[in-house]
Amino acid sequence: MSNQPTTAADARRRVTELIRDARVCLLTTTAVDGRLVSRPMALQAAEFDGDLWFFAYADSAKIRQIRVNPQVNVGFSDQRGNAWVSVAGTAQEGWDRARAEWLWHPLLRTWFPDGPDTPGITLLKVHAAAAVCRDASGGAVVDLLGFAPAAVTGRRPRAGRNREVSY
């Protein structure tokens, strides 16, 4: 059975599944000099309703960059399922104690040793505008093998489909 979504609602569900499965992503911001800067981040909420939540330090470079240019991209990869999701959206920073307690996970103490009471901690919310999802229908082996014949024949490989999802 194919994982390929057939409707917009199916596509949104598939994006949510892929995000939930990946949990770690690359957050890309724009530096003051215009360079794109990516760094790994741990997603804090598995349920994706159009908003992604992260913990950060308010004085970090990513927060400073977002204050200047809130347009970001968040990329997720699920290598087991040979799929990825790219979420384009707008980020904003702000502290909400109740939300922080709801999102908190003990593993975050590695970065925030005093939990939600860590000095300088803040929340980063990314509101999705659109997502592009690639979900390979044949699995990693089919995809990998699909590129070799393409190089010889000049025909495009059958490597899955990209789906764009609006939020």
Domains of the chain and any CATH numbers: 8-166 (2.30.110.10)
Q: How confident is the model at residue 21 (pLDDT cuts 50, 70, 90)?
A: confident
Q: How confident is the model at residue 124 (pLDDT cuts 50, 70, 90)?
A: very high
Report the pLDDT value the prediction gives residue 153, as an integer from 0 to 100.
47
Across all residues in the chain, what is the average pLDDT? 80
131 vs 11: CA distance, rounded Å: 10
Report the pLDDT value the prediction gives residue 141, as an integer from 0 to 100.
31
Convert the pLDDT of each residue in 89-108 to its tens digit.
999 999 999 999 999 999 89
The closest alpha carbon to 121, from 130, 108, 133, 134, belongs to: 108
43 vs 20: CA distance, rounded Å: 9
- What average pLDDT score do residues 106-124 get? 96
Strand partners, 93: 124
- Could you give the C-alpha distances from 28 to 25, 34, 38, 62, 77, in angstroms and in order? 10, 12, 4, 9, 14
**pTM as predicted:** 0.76
Q: How confident is the model at residue 84 (pLDDT cuts 50, 70, 90)?
A: confident
Give the lowest-confidence range in 35-44, 75-84, 109-118: 75-84
148 vs 136: CA distance, rounded Å: 16
CB atoms within 10 A of CB 2: 10
- In angstroms, the first-to-last Cα distance of the chain is 27
Give the lowest-confidence range in 38-47, 96-105, 116-125: 38-47
Tell me the three state secondary structure of residue 120: coil
Report the pLDDT value the prediction gives residue 56, as an integer from 0 to 100.
97
Phi-psi region of 52 (alpha: psi -120 to 50; beta: other; left: phi over 0): beta
Higher pLDDT, 109 or 49: 109
